[in-house]
Amino acid sequence: MHPRSRNILCTGLLGLLLLLSLGSCHDDNADAPLWPSGKTARRTVLIYMCAQNSLGAYKYHRSDSLEIMQGRQYIAPNDRLLLYVDDANYPRLMEISASSKAPVLLRQWNKEVNSADPQTLRDVATWVRQHCSAQEYGLVLWSHADGWLPATNKAYAPSSSTYAPFSFGIDVGQGGSMYGDRDYQGKPGPQMDITDMAQAIAESGMHLRYILFDACLMQNVESSYALRHVTDYVVASPIAISAYGGNYTSLVKSGLFSERVEDIVTTYYADIIDPEQRNTYDDYGIVISSVRTAGLDSLAHTIAELLPLSTLATSGEEMPAFDDVQHYHAYTSTYYYRPYQHDLRCTMQRILSAENMQRLDEVLAQVITCKRATNRFWVGPKNWNFLAVDTTNYCGVAAFLPQRVYTQNANACIFGDLNEQFRQTEWYHAAGWAGYDEHLLRLPMSRSGYDEP
d(CA 98, CA 73) in angstroms, rounded, equals 5
Residue intervals in the chain for CATH 3.40.50.11970: 14-293
> Which is it for strands 386-388 and 208-214: parallel, antiparallel or unpaired?
unpaired
Work out the average pLDDT over 139-161: 76
Q: What are phi and psi of 133, to 5 degrees?
A: -60, 145
The answer, yes or no, to whether residue 38 has pLDDT greater than 70, is: no
Work out the average pLDDT over 281-285: 92
Pick the CATH number of 14-293 from 3.40.605.10, 3.30.590.10, 3.50.50.60, 3.40.50.11970: 3.40.50.11970
Residue 409, amino acid? N
Biggest CA-to-CA distance, the chain: 68
d(CA 300, CA 267) in angstroms, rounded, equals 29
d(CA 428, CA 420) in angstroms, rounded, equals 11
Confidence of residue 312 (pLDDT cuts 50, 70, 90): confident
Confidence of residue 89 (pLDDT cuts 50, 70, 90): very high
Candidate from 47-56, 259-268, 401-410 with smallest mean pLDDT: 401-410
Provide the sign of the torsion angle of the four alpha carbons 56, 60, 66, 70, taken in this order.
negative
The answer, yes or no, to whether residue 94 has pLDDT greater than 80, is: yes
Query: Which pLDDT belongs to residue 148?
Result: 84
Query: Which pLDDT belongs to residue 101?
Result: 87
Mean pLDDT of the chain: 87
Range picked from 20-24, 291-295, 402-406 for highest mean pLDDT: 291-295
> Which is it for strands 134-142 and 208-214: parallel, antiparallel or unpaired?
parallel
Question: Of 233, 267, 237, which is closest to residue 397 (Cα–Cα)?
Answer: 237
CB atoms within 10 A of CB 344: 27
